[in-house]
Structure 1
């Protein structure tokens, strides 16, 4: 369920606020407001609120850096969200090369460094006796901290993305690069959690220690997500149609009349089935039940199934060797309930629906998906909302 609030859009990218953003807005306002009290109560708290808002404007510009470079590569950016730990740009696909991936990764820190220099330059021309001088200088330094922090080499930080691009370039394997960068993020995250406890124990700075622990937890959680997502992407490319297809279809005589077909097969079951017609040892095509229903019943005695079948060349198909990513993309883009799998001999090898795909993934990755859930997916014809296979398959199959 979407809990974020949309506050507008920039360059066609929707902007969202996480409700917890208001918590960090309040804490940031408190921090700066207390720091500026020498300028007076009203001026100090007003400046604190302005600084808190400008901090998030800086974060927004940082994320726009990533987003605009991604858009320049033809990659869709679904949203930018400001939340407790800063901001995140939801970029739909990976760049096509390590060099392009590096450009997207480094763009955010580059924007922050540019803001550091620009704001620092502005601060030098404002008199020291002016509150704006202190505010501009603080905001300049904060942008430098944002850039340096994000360059820490571990996912989900930008430095982890830079590391991933470098490892991808060296190894030639994007998936392996993500796994290694995610492992770096996990190590850094657990180290931050340990550091937070040490700060609490040795200094008594409970709030500081808790904040470091939360940042570490965030890093570990998201590094794990990157790792799992990459494993799923690899699996979608490694598993092929033959690994998940079933033979839950019937082969019927293409020369029988429509009446004979209806009496033999349609009257005996209320569960929709898939029928392929064959004659003389060859598949003639898929039997369209709707085509039968639209045919005048007076013609059922005279017409054969060959008159209503859809040839294999005219229906959506994939080869046995097609990756599951390709199968999913075809199912989703053409809004198909199922798809026919063709063997190298150009015969029907099987059929695949969304339930078959989820079942194959569950078996390969040991996912906790029950048979009743598989049955529901087959009946509803949709992937589970928590397993966005359509989006994931699109991101890896180009």
Structure 2
């Protein structure tokens, strides 16, 4: 069988590409938190951890099998070499984004390659529109640079998107050039949150608010995602394009929700959302006692205090793990987290919540002048967002046709309450 009679279809969207006979893989640059589970660390560049998700081994096995079925052992070797080279180009693409982001003052924790894409764990958003534009362009420019460097040795490739399995070094290099050109072209499809969509958002942010620009870019991305689904369902060889469309649709919705959340929290301080009436545990309390308080109080994380001195926070998961592996009589002081940063009550909430999401904190102590005055947990922020979404929901007229008055979103700050010990009953409720 000739090399040209077996075609590997490669459909690539920044910043990832994968090759498999008759299939297409999409990758969208995504803001992440930590490297995903089941990821293998393969290196580190400029403080950025580089990871390979273990599911990529399944992809490599599929590629090797496809190449072997078409061209025997030689086909398997060249197919694997091509995919590994393309993955390396994707990693360079992601590094292009990440190194420029670092240069502009953003933190990049890791890059993880998946069968469906590359995930860069960036902390925060670009502060200015031009920064997002520059960061976005950096990735595709890496692919274009690779093409420029290889083109003198290969010549112009005869086709894009549908790439033949290479059978020698010249065909390998030419296919690699075609793959990078494919990456470059697909990157500029304005399907947010792909690179093209982020570029649209950056340009729109020059003339409108970042939140509004995100909404417009997200709607554009979702329209294109629906088209991907329709094409994938209509043309069977591209069935995976439908899956890609669903992924893009949900990713655009998630990104828009994240930006909307940030806008809601931007003008708030921690003290306006933190829990003020919460239960604390003594250092000698057992994890079983702590777990009992979970279902008695509905509280998941508990500050551990020795009198008026704050020692740390013990989480529900830490207590469950200790009960299962170390025994129910283990004291909470043995499993509490003493390294959580305390935040002042007047800190801007959006910054603190972003830190909680990035670092994976479920709750943080709020301290003022060395005294614990509150507890900020994910649940506090979630409840605030739920209330605000209802306040901003469309209002329906009452039976008389009148629109009900909307309550104010904020009415000041409640006084700080004294944390209760786990031995104390809840304060009595005034019947009035």
Tell me the TM-score normalised to structure 2 length: 0.58
1:57 maps onto 2:88 in alignment: yes
Match of 1:216 in 2: 245
Measure the CA separation in 2 of the matches of 1:245 and 1:50: 53
Tell me the SS of whatever aligns to 1:7. Answer: strand
Which stretches in structure 1 are left out of the alignment for 5+ residues?
201-207, 250-287, 292-314, 342-350, 367-377, 380-398
State the shift of 1:225 in Å. 1.4
**Pair 1:179-2:224 in alignment:** no
Contact 2:232–2:242 (CA<8 Å) still a contact in 1? yes
Aligned residues: 286
Residue 361 of structure 1 and its aligned partner are, at CA, apart by 2.7
The residue aligned with 2:261 is: 232
1:24 corresponds in structure 2 to 59
* Partners of 2:181 and 2:46 in 1: CA distance: 25
In structure 2, relative to structure 1, the CA distance for the partners of 1:331 and 1:161 (3 Å cut) is closer
Which residue, out of 369, 373, 376, partners 1:354? 376
TM-score by length of 1: 0.62
Paired residue for 2:350? 325
Partner of 1:347: none
Q: The residue matched to 2:127 in structure 1 has which SS?
A: coil
Secondary structure, in 3 states, of the residue corresponding to 1:117? helix
Provide the rounded CA distance (Å) in 2 between the counterparts of 1:33 and 1:95: 46
Q: Deviations over 1:130-164 (max 9, x none)?
A: 82111111110110001111211121211011111
Report the counterpart of residue 120 of structure 1 in structure 2. 151
Q: Whose RCO is larger (CA < 8 A, sep 6+)?
A: 2
| 1:137-216 alignment, distance < 5 Å | 137-171=174-208, 173-200=209-236, 208-216=237-245
- CA pair 331-134 structure 1, distance change in 2 beyond 3 A: closer
**Structure 2: runs of 5+ lacking an equivalent:** 1-35, 157-165, 279-306, 311-341, 391-418, 421-432
Identify, as 1 or 2, the structure richer in helix.
1
Q: Give the aligned CA root-mean-square deviation in angstroms.
A: 3.8
**Cα offsets for 1:15-42 (capped at 9, x unmatched):** 112233223333444556667x3xxx33
Cα 1:330–1:67 change in 2 (3 A) is closer
Equivalent position of 2:395 in the other structure: none
Question: Distance in 1 between the 2:177 and 2:276 partners?
Answer: 65
What is the aligned partner in structure 2 of residue 395 from structure 1?
Answer: none
Q: Distance in 2 between matches of 1:27 and 1:232?
A: 40
Output the CA distance in 2 between the equivalents of 1:151 and 1:28: 27
For 1:93 and 1:240, the matched residues in 2 are separated by: 18
Residue 104 of structure 1: how far off its partner (Å): 0.5
Deviation (angstroms), 1:289: 2.8
Distance (whole Å) between structure 2 residues aligned to residue 330 and residue 30 of structure 1: 44
Report the Cα distance in structure 2 between the residues aligned to 1:155 and 1:219, rounded to whole angstroms. Answer: 7
Hey, what's the Cα distance between the residues in 2 that align with 1:60 and 1:328?
29
The answer as to whether partners of 1:196 and 1:212 remain within 8 angstroms in 2 is: yes
Contact 1:331 1:338 in 2 (8 A): no
Q: Which residue is equivalent to 2:308?
A: 289
- Deviations along 1:179-220, one digit per CA (max 9) or x if unpaired, are 2212211111111011111113xxxxxxx2321112112211
